[in-house]
Structure 1
Amino acid sequence: GVAPRVAPPGGAAAPTAPADGVAPAAAPPDLVRLLLVASVALITLVAFENLAVSTAMPAVAEDLGGLRLYAVASGVPLAAGLVATAVSGAWSDARGPRGSLLAGIVLFSTGLVIAGLAPSMEILVVGRAVQGFGGGLLVVPLYVLVGAMVPAARQPAFFAAFSAAWVVPALVGPGVTGLVVDHASWRWIFLGVPALTLGVSALLLPLLRHIPPHGSRSDPAVRHSRLLLAATGTGAAVAVLQVAGSQTGSEMAAWVVPAAIVAAAVLVLCLPPLVPAGTVRLLRGVPSAVACRTLLNATFMTAQTFLPLLLVREHGWPVWQAGLVLTVASVAWATGAAIQGRVTSTAGRDRLSWLGPLLLAAGTFITAGATLEAVTPWIVVVGWALGGTGMGLAYPALSVLVLQATPPARHGRISSSLQVADALGAAMGLAASGALFTALVGTGGTDAYLAGLLLASGLGLVASVAGARAAAPVVG
């Protein structure tokens, strides 16, 4: 799925203080440890499910016969999560994190059960939407709880642990998933997680009894409601575009074109409040950095979603073997991130903003070679390792660039914009590539995959341009 998140999701109160702006009182050490264990366990489960589904989807589509909804099943949780992040932020700010956290756990688990028992691809998409919404609801309160209960000096260690919670699932998740799918059933990828989620949630019950009293929010209610409405409209519009894209072809329903036009109009109206002014126009500095993150995730998620299907369906690879390609990308991502962490010069870090996307574009283009009969499918491993390295170089570098160029008082808002950019880019990339795939998959051959991978590679090149403009000095 989308990259490991280390910035607090948008909409919630800043993680360094509770909603009333008062520094958190030191919680008892036992509660702090319990919060760390339970939070990391929950994020690990969300991360595993995120990566496992990418590996298992080829088997799911084959079993349920819903190839036209393949991209929708991968993209709709992102759109639902975008809405849920805003809802959870508003909920946590207004009434504290308890309700959002509990609702998120219930909906996340319910969605997994629906998907695991789904008799058709349509029902699976519904389950994935519920799962994505629940996941969005439960992650935001964890950041709020850290801000409310953990002393400031210990908070960096918590957020580092949240980021590290993605590492093990990234390394072992795809391989384990492949073995489960090949030797049992893809349904266990969904049905095995709810029991674990509810078990981990039991650890949170003692914490919920010790949540500090919730203060009043200082932000204007009108502005908060506007952001909530904008995020909801954006998520809904993206979901409609994804479903509309799955209807392309000779059997396209009459409602598709009008619905897509309305959804596009809603997206144009709702997106501006969620991102810095000038993001769409690639203005130099922060707006281009946010645009670069959007395009990076569009490129990465498009390829990450369709490469396993290409290898399994067209080249006959077992699911576990195709899953290892995702593991290679995860290792390469971590390697790239480690390399960028050692780059300290301003010129060097500025270079990462365009070099990373360029490597991702090149790697994605190389993977497209697997659609040609004369090229070995193992080229995907080489290309996707290069792509993962590019993501590792650029993704954290852009976060640092944005935070350094933004006043501290606006760090929460710009972190929210980055979260929106990540989810929106991935969801829109899947909507566009899904429409291409649905339109071409019936023609036979590998043209449907080639079109999607070339589209993704092109988006990566535009991301490189945006990255260069992000690092360029702002004139005037």
Structure 2
Amino acid sequence: MPQNKSSRTGAPGVETIYAPQYLSTTLGMFILVFLVAFEAMAVTTVMPLVSEVLDGKRLFALSFAAPMASGMLGMVAAGEITDRWGPKIPLFASVAVFLAGLLVCGTAGSMEILISGRILQGIGGGAITVAIYVLIARAYPGSLHAKIFALFATAWVLPALIGPWLAGLIATFIGWRWVFLGVMGLVALAFCAIIPALDRLPRESHSELGPVSWKRLLLAGLAGAAVIAMNLLGNSGGAWSLPALLAALLLALLTIRPLLPKGTFSVRRGLPATMSTRTLVAGAFFGVEVYLPYLLREDYQLSPDRAGLVLTASALSWSVGSWLQGKLGDKLSNSHSITLGALASTVAISTALLTAVYHPPVAVLICGWAVGGFGMGMIYPRQNVNMLKLSAEHEQGFNSSAMTLADSLGTAGATALGGVIFATAAAGWGFISVFSFCLALALVLIIVSPRTKPAARPAA
């Protein structure tokens, strides 16, 4: 399999991402990822208030589906550009688009305008993720990749812990508009810390790749439209929604397939299987997690703050798992880390299913879901590390884009299907049906996770 050239970058023997030559880049990327994640969490908190103030309750679901869909376009565009000219241009452009989205949302006078800002946020946020993945490949030696992705996991976990609370305070005492406007300066400052690393990168021009593929951009747009349809259908209910949802899912699969490495759907060993595991684990884990607060409220009559403890426990253990895999480094292979994460996620989903059936003490679910969070911390960073390891330099943008698309496909597909399954299940069987579906995905994940290890090369 092709190997990237990042091992030639950086000083030999450096074992920390906080070395002087990396410090500003590390902190800048961490803050940038943190702010993108914070926005995602904060908007969830304030959107009910925003839709009420702007008289846009009918567009509430679209305010979340739109940036998820437009993010696919941003991911593919960033992948196309980074493979041809490196990560500098797409990072400048994506941060500018993200800032424009924040400005539009923060000054919106109607729900329609706010959704247009959310679309810009989605494009910018999706492109930022892809460009940062490629920057990591170019600016850090391969031995530090597990550590930098572990730090990024923390950048996503912290907003899950403080984002809703902080957004609530901002909306209550300053105003909901500052949930968008208040982070603009911080985004700009974080990006400024990354600019020196971008300036140090050699100029690139892979003319052999040809011009940017408009076909891929069109396919990304169609895939985004399919994701919007899946999201809306998954929350609509009704007997007709399942066949319509399956049609939208088929459209999403057909349009995304050319945007993924060949062999992803057939789980070919190595890079394609790595993409497959991202779709499966995202669908299995998040397909269950969105229902856990609902389960605890319906079956245990817990208040929202107490029901949220299960998500807090998972977020904390996710950070621990991510730290551990980064600490182990090459002592634990990427394939073994992915398999361990798959096993832990399956334990967590099984615990959720048993909770829905037998209603044990809540502590059982909290502990079980914490195991799942630990597993996600083990699996997510190593999927990214494995992807970069198995990517040639001129493919890093395409494959980084594919990884984020695989993630979006798994999350959107499983939550949408789960919504229809829940709505159409017999009385008392909603949670059991959804969790059983996600458990099936997790079991498939266990089976295919060893295939993330590339086939051995034949002896010369």
Q: TM-score range by the shorter chain?
A: 0.7 to 0.9
Aligned-pair CA distance for 1:385:
0.8
Instruction: Give the corresponding residue for 1:9.
Output: none
Show the counterpart of 1:420.
Answer: 405
Return the match for 1:170 from 150, 153, 157.
157
Tell me which amino acid in the other structure corresponds to 1:83: L
Q: Which amino acid aligns with 2:89?
A: G
Answer whether contact 2:267 2:276 (CA < 8 A) is retained.
Answer: yes
Q: Kindly tell me the number of residue pairs found equivalent between the two proteins.
A: 437
Structure 1 residues 461 and 306, CA gap change in structure 2 (3 angstroms): same
Q: Structure 1 residue 126: deviation in Å? A: 7.5
Task: Decide whether aligned partners of structure 1 residues 246 and 304 sit closer, same or farther in structure 2, where only a CA change above 3 A counts.
Answer: same
1:96 paired with 2:89, answer yes
2:179 is the alignment partner of 1:193: yes
Question: How much has 1:107 moved relative to structure 2?
Answer: 1.4
Contact 2:134-2:400 at 8 Å conserved across structures: no
Which residue of 129, 132, 140 corresponds with 2:122?
Answer: 132
1:51-450 equivalence runs, <5 A: 51-52=41-42, 77-90=67-80, 96-97=89-90, 98-111=92-105, 131-140=121-130, 152=139, 164=151, 166-167=153-154, 170-171=157-158, 173-174=160-161, 177-178=164-165, 191-203=177-189, 218-222=207-211, 224-249=213-238, 252=240, 257=243, 261=247, 263-312=248-297, 314-341=299-326, 342=328, 344=330, 350-372=335-357, 374-407=359-392, 410-440=395-425, 445=428, 447-450=429-432
2 CA distance for matches of 1:340 and 1:420? 24
Give the AA of the match of 1:105.
L
Q: Deviations over 1:410-446 (max 9, x none)?
A: 4443333322222221222222112223434xx665x
Task: Say if 1:38 and 1:419 are closer, same or farther in 2 by CA, change over 3 A.
Answer: same
The question of 1:467 aligning with 2:449 is answered yes
Structure 2 residue matching 1:303: 3-state secondary structure: helix
Q: Give me the whole-angstrom Cα distance separating, in 1, the residues matched to 2:244 and 2:42.
A: 35
Residue 282 of structure 1 aligns to which amino acid in structure 2? V
User: In the aligned structure 2, how far is the partner of 1:146 from the partner of 1:113?
Assistant: 34
1:180, distance to aligned residue in structure 2 (A):
6.3
Determine the C-alpha separation between the residues in 2 that align with 1:249 and 1:345.
51
Query: In structure 2, what is the Cα distance between the partners aligned to 1:214 and 1:378?
Result: 54
Q: Supply the distance in 2 between the matched residues of 1:406 and 1:223 (Cα, whole angstroms).
A: 19
Q: TM-score if structure 2 supplies the norm length?
A: 0.74
CA RMSD, 1 decimal: 4.9
Contact 1:285 1:471 in 2 (8 A): yes
Tell me how far apart the structure 1 counterparts of residues 28 and 353 of structure 2 sit (CA, whole Å).
41
- Closer, same or farther: CA 61–448 of 1 in aligned 2, 3 Å: farther
How many Å separate the matches in 1 of 2:276 and 2:434? 20
CA distance in 2: counterparts of 1:101 and 1:271, whole angstroms: 25
Question: 1:96 aligns to what SS in structure 2?
Answer: helix
Give the aligned residue type for 2:289.
Q
Give CA-to-partner distance per residue, 1:268-301, whole Å, 9 cap, x none: 4322322222211122333222211110111122
- Paired letter, 2:154: V
Contact 1:53 1:189 in 2 (8 A): no
Query: Any idea what SS the aligned residue of 1:199 has?
Result: helix
Using the size of structure 1 for normalisation, the TM-score is 0.71
Using the TM superposition, give the Cα deviation of residue 354 of structure 1 relative to its aligned residue in structure 2, in angstroms.
Answer: 2.6
Give ranges in structure 1 of 5+ residues lacking alignment.
1-13, 18-29
Cα pair 1:112 1:128 within 8 Å, conserved: no
Residues 187, 370 of structure 1: CA spacing in aligned structure 2 closer, same or farther, 3 A cutoff? farther
Q: Distance in 2 between matches of 1:383 and 1:451?
A: 19
Query: Percent identical across equivalent pairs?
Result: 26
Q: For 2:308, what is the secondary structure of its paired residue?
A: helix
Distance 1:209 1:374, change over 3 A: closer
Where 1:271 maps in the other structure, the secondary structure is: helix
The amino acid that maps onto 2:435 is L
Q: Deviations over 1:9-37 (max 9, x none)?
A: xxxxx9999xxxxxxxxxxxx9x987766
Q: Is the 8 A contact 2:273 2:451 kept in 1?
A: yes
Q: Whole-Å Cα distance in 1 between the matches of residues 50 and 360 of structure 2? A: 27
Q: Residue deviations 1:200-233, cap 9 Å, x none?
A: 2453589989986987652534563333233333
